[in-house]
Amino acid sequence: MEYEIFDVVNLRDEVMYQERRSVVHEKGLFHRAVHIFARSKNGMWILQKRSASKDIDPLLWTSSCSGHVDAGEDYLNAVVRECEEELGVSLLTDRFLELLQISPCHETGNEFVRVFALKDLISPKNNPEEIEALETYSLPEIEKEIECSTQHFSLSFIHIFKLIKRHLQRLT
């Protein structure tokens, strides 16, 4: 993780230069990330509990899959890579639907975030280095869980979910 390299971007999401992950986070530089919302074979939305070894938001619940966009990578290829790495699901780029673009803010850790929904129902196999647990929920159940247990969710997920839930309702 220490040697990951990210594109540092300006407020127009244009690449300025590359920098190590640790420096990007330490200095609060603008960079890129993706979040993916996926449904399991039962039609319910999948949430992941992040691994205890994660440096950001360990053991907190978040979207089905998420991650940084590596230097030189575009958002869509990052989505494909993250689904493979975290959920063990290999998909083509046309299986994802971009729902929302979020500008950097405190809640996202100064990340430009693109949020995608997976068009297919999946049977994920979580990578234990990345994910502690996977659970499935309906959208009302997610809302209730956040309301009752805010401290169990990542700040970025709470922020994104508030913005995205209407889009997800249309897909259910």
* pTM of the full structure: 0.95
Rounded Cα–Cα distance for residues 79 and 93 (Å): 8
Q: Which domains does the chain have, with CATH numbers?
A: 5-171 (3.90.79.10)
Contact 38, 63 (CB under 8 A): no
Would you state the pLDDT for residue 172? Answer: 78
Rounded Cα–Cα distance for residues 68 and 156 (Å): 13
Would you state the pLDDT for residue 84? Answer: 97
Would you state the pLDDT for residue 33? Answer: 98
Q: Where are the alpha helices (DSSP H) in the chain?
A: 21-27, 75-87, 139-148, 155-171
Would you state the pLDDT for residue 1? Answer: 45
Would you state the pLDDT for residue 2? Answer: 53
Ranges under pLDDT 50 in the chain: 1
Would you state the pLDDT for residue 10? Answer: 98
Residue with tokens 């040697």: 3
